[in-house]
Amino acid sequence: MSRRRKFHLYLTVVTFCTGFLVATSFETTKLTRKERLNDQLFQQETQLNDRILSEKEQNRHLEKQLIDLQRQVGKVEEAMAQRKSEAAETLSQLEAARMLSGVVAVEGPGIVITMQDSQTAASSSDIANFIVHEQDVRLVVNELRAAGAEAISINGQRLVSNSSIRCVGPTIIVNGIKSAAPFVISAIGNPETMESALNLPGGVLHSLQDFVQIDLAKKDKLQLPAFVGDAKTKHS
């Protein structure tokens, strides 16, 4: 074999080996990079999983806090509703007390009873039997109260717990104010109940209608004034 052919053979072998080494090195480098990349991805995935687990744990903790807060809010709302209900009941009782005490003007359905002297009084031998007396007015007022009247006035004078009705000649004095017939008694309450109570057989109106003139009218809305005067003073 000539030197030239040997040289070419050696060159070919060297070139082949060099190419093989280069290819092997490239593949090795590629594989190393891939392994490094896989390691990085694995680390990132591990970190991400750890973070997800941590977030889940934190979410569970926050959910527990939220449930506890919702329970506390529920208790507060329940307490507020109870207090609101108690306040509303107290206010209702206060309004009822104000109405019964007569310190405020009131409005509502009710009835109006007008009592006048009998038209035959002037020609009667005993006029006193045919004119309206304070006891007649008092009978009507007491029957209205028994029938659930919430507020009563006589000729615009609001009755309170210590109001008195007394007669001076042909006039009647209520809360120290004198007025003459006709006597208009206004009462707020259930109109049907009060009317039925007054018209009971043998009741107030039946016992008076032969002596004095009485008219009764139901009203969808009445306005009664507040009591004017000193509620502590006994009107006698």
Distance CA 212, CA 206 (A): 11
**pLDDT of amino acid 64:** 84
Distance CA 177, CA 161 (A): 16
Report which secondary-structure segment, H or E, holds 109. strand 106-117
Q: For domain 104-222, give the CATH superfamily.
A: Protein of unknown function DUF881 (3.30.70.1880)
Whole-model pTM over 0.95: no
Q: What is the pLDDT of residue 93?
A: 72
d(CA 31, CA 40): 14
Tokens of 104: 């405020």
Is it true that the peptide bond before 225 is cis, omega within 30 degrees of 0?
A: no
With beta carbons less than 8 A apart as the criterion, state whether 102 and 160 touch. Answer: yes
Per-residue model confidence (pLDDT) at position 27: 66
Q: What is the pLDDT of residue 234?
A: 46
In angstroms, the CA 102 to CA 160 distance is: 6
The whole-angstrom separation of Cα 2 and Cα 233 is 154
Cβ-in-10-Å burial (0-12, 13-18, 19+) of 195 comes to: middle
pLDDT in the model for residue 163: 84
- pLDDT digit string (tens) for the chain, length 236 residues: 566 666 566 667 667 666 666 666 666 676 677 677 677 777 777 787 778 888 888 888 888 887 888 888 888 888 888 888 877 777 777 666 666 667 788 999 999 999 998 888 767 778 777 889 899 999 999 999 999 999 999 999 999 878 888 888 778 999 889 999 999 999 999 999 999 999 999 889 999 988 899 999 999 999 999 987 654 444 44
Per the listing, tokens 């005993």 go with 126
- Give the separation between CA 75 and CA 113, rounded to whole angstroms: 53
Nearest in space to 213 (alpha carbons), one of 106, 131, 148:
131
Q: What angle do helix axes 191-198 and 134-146 make, rounded to 10 degrees? A: 130
Question: What's the pLDDT at 236?
Answer: 41
Q: What is the rounded distance in angstroms from the CA atom of residue 131 to the CA atom of residue 183?
A: 11
**The pLDDT of residue 235:** 43
pLDDT at residue number 98: 65
Q: Which two tokens stand for residue 141?
A: 């007022």
